[in-house]
A and B are shown apart, each in its own frame.
Chain A
């Protein structure tokens, strides 16, 4: 069999990205120096590892040979490689290297390499599913917990998009690479140069992140958020706009005041919005935002779910829909806040929790379970199926009904008046079918795998765990609830979930294509 893909070129470019990963690794190193917390050795060593591995990969081939096919391979492998390198500081901090590096987090669950890779993949893919046994500064240093937050921020707008923005060698094939990585069907070029587009997206992303950090810290200074210090403000700013969901607090956002919870809601909604729309708003064209079909649908969905959840939380016990959840039932502000927070968090696939929604009654949990599949907008940092696909599917179902009555009718699907290409519609159907096939397959695998080690995992828990990792959401229900972790699963299940997070982030098809014979041959 003759391989027709110049995999050396792809790996060389992966090397470039890995090499540059040593730059953001400096941030946790600085934090380690500041707190004197012993992460110094772990991060120092990882910078060396990333740089050497990167340079070694770069020497494999010539990135000039990049074509469309090499692009798919490059993007898929980049995310794998970055996650593996990102796991190195976790391992080093938990284990140390006997005789060379001292372990800085004795008894950490990250000593298991599978756990370390899981945590790293969960970070970069902005999933937010965790396998840390206990989240506290006693078991994990400030620097390690900050690295967790930072991986999400880097993965949020996309590592490859960032690479296209700053590396001149990616300027030509960049559109192809961004297309394989960007959430949603197809990318929008905002400017003639793709690198310029990538820079615009990252600037908007970084700008809104900075705004949130300032506002969060402002609440602290204003006396509305006693525990939102500089460290926490930065840590949560990094994972809100990335729709990540990691928090250095064990109780997630429940640990903060109502003011903080209210402030985070609009930022989560913004994170699930197509960033290209922010560019138009910055250009002074706010109409573009409010006339965007997907944005209107997205806001409508979040609003409807909020209303539904608020009603369930507020009146739940009175209607006999399960137990009263103190202090929410009967308290309008509490009910509305927790409903809005959880709806925004799960729809945008952020995965924060303002309370343990595991305690909710069954109807409320069912609503959130459905929300696991919705996802943010195309071109946002959110995961799952995405609003635009649901919108197109709804419209095409309506068309199917019409065509059943009028078999000869020709009716293009329209988004905001613009007719859609039928091939694009077919792609959306294919994506959704594959997405749900993976969900079913994953659920069965996880259920059987848990039974194998006599771990009790209910069907609902298994489904929520698979949906939450495939959709890059993070928390599910029961044992994988927002205040729990993915630790109880066997290594085999965790590795499957690492795979689900990986293909989920890259929207499945660009990764699946690598497993077909026709990709590798002529």
Chain B
């Protein structure tokens, strides 16, 4: 594939480095020095210029590109780049943003801003932190049918209560369908039956209402692990800190946030009612002792500056916190942080680059999610008169469809319909279905 990357900062160059092996990569950046460095250090073509300038994009032969990745440090530049690319090319566009409101808009209205896939640096960092804290988060979540349906892929940890259960035992959720299980050793997704056993370390793919998916995420949670981790202290109310707190609250943990700035502390307190906000310098050992931070299970340092985050993490460890996670903006400090005593250092740019790279490799189209390995797809179809589903009960259609398809969810207008054997599908309904790679062609033709 031919891939155009706009912005050769840490994220851009990291992606370029990962993809250069198997693909033709072109990099665009405004900074001539960076462009020159890229040309020599990576096996890519580098072009100097502004990514929002059509002339520059044409010079980089954007019309030949299959994928365009906008990964500068500026949200608006990235969005404008994607919009500009759309005027001359059908390339799949990926944008990186910091502002979560852009992400919310895009999630609810896919294709907004001319962006086909959007990643939020701070949110990815927060998700990485929450995973490290010990709570499973979905490996992948994709909204369908205007946000009424979600497809999610989870890894089931060995000590999860679900490990070893059959699908019939695990399926306690009305508005959720198990569409695939990917055993750890297998190289393709398996369509589960009631007696299929979910092994530890396997992955499961579910389709359902977003609320049910979130509940299911809680059910996967190993009971003991969740009991172990109760007290999480977030030092520094940066955006990453705020998003981490929100994700923790969603998982039933009430974190404490320490933020020195009074106004920001008040803002956080208004936005996250479940969290306790303390307004004080998070690097004051006397204060940390007074607030019993030594008893915390995990301390997360997200102060926005590497030096202060490092200091906060080390002091927290010093007063007795069990584990310290720090956010580090400079990739080159990750090793240093972990050497001097921080348990895990999370670099948001690195996390973002990994996500974009992973996604680019598992390239997917609009309203289609690809499940790797095996290339199965989750797709959304609007039922028309020609469809075999039109005005028939699902049980009756089964004979006309290949084995490798599971109907996960149906939406009718704004209503969610749980598919059962006797559910009659109407013309105009949206159907979200899991389709194995070998059945894709046949299913697409018949639905």
Contacts and interface: CB of A to CB of B under 8 A. Distances in A.
A417 B271 CA distance: 10
A138 interface: no
Interface stretch (A242-250, A300-308, A406-414, A423-431): A406-414
Given A408-B280, A409-B277, A410-B279, A419 B270 contact: yes
Contacts of B273: 414, 417
Nearest to B278: A408
B105 interface: no
B266 A409 contact: no
B262 A410 contact: yes
A406 B278 contact: yes
A409 B268 CA distance: 12
B265 interface: yes
Interface residues of B, number: 15
Interface in A372-427: 406, 408-412, 414, 417, 419
Nearest to B273: A414
A409 B270 contact: no
Interface in B254-276: 259, 262, 265-266, 268-270, 273, 276
Contacts of B268: 410
Nearest to B287: A408
A406 B233 CA distance: 14
B442 to A, nearest CB: 48
Contact of B266 (A406, A410, A417): A410
B269 A410 contact: yes
Interface string B278-290: 1110000001000
A194 B357 CA distance: 56
A406 B291 contact: yes
A417 B270 CA distance: 9
B241 to A, nearest CB: 14
A210 to B, nearest CB: 40
Interface in A135-192: none
A379 to B, nearest CB: 24
Contacts of A406: 276, 278, 291
B265 A410 contact: yes
Interface residues of A, number: 9
Contact of B278 (A410, A412, A414, A419): A410
A301 B266 CA distance: 31
Contacts of A408: 278-280, 287, 291
Contacts of B259: 410
Contacts of B269: 410-412, 419
B142 to A, nearest CB: 30
> Considering residues A410, A411, A419, which has the most beta carbons from chain B within 10 angstroms of its beta carbon?
A410
A409 B287 contact: no
A182 B353 CA distance: 58
A142 B268 CA distance: 62
A519 B268 CA distance: 38
Interface in B230-266: 259, 262, 265-266
B229 to A, nearest CB: 21
> Considering residues B262, B278, B287, which has the most beta carbons from chain A within 10 angstroms of its beta carbon?
B278
B147 to A, nearest CB: 22
A419 B276 CA distance: 14
A418 to B, nearest CB: 9
Nearest to A418: B270
A406 B266 CA distance: 15
A406 B268 CA distance: 17
Interface in B143-196: none
Interface in A78-110: none
Nearest to B270: A419
B266 A412 contact: yes
Nearest to B260: A408
A414 B262 CA distance: 18
A412 to B, nearest CB: 5
A435 B269 CA distance: 31
B133 to A, nearest CB: 23
B292 to A, nearest CB: 10
Contacts of A410: 259, 262, 265-266, 268-269, 277-279
Contacts of A414: 273
Given A410-B268, A412-B266, A414-B273, 15 more contacts: A406-B276, A406-B278, A408-B278, A408-B287, A409-B276, A410-B266, A410-B269, A410-B277, A411-B269, A411-B277, A412-B269, A412-B270, A417-B273, A419-B269, A419-B270
Interface of A: 406, 408-412, 414, 417, 419
9 contacts: A406-B276, A408-B287, A409-B276, A410-B268, A410-B269, A411-B269, A411-B276, A414-B273, A419-B269
Top 10 A-B pairs, shortest CB-CB distance: A408-B280, A419-B270, A410-B265, A408-B278, A410-B277, A410-B269, A410-B279, A412-B269, A412-B270, A408-B279
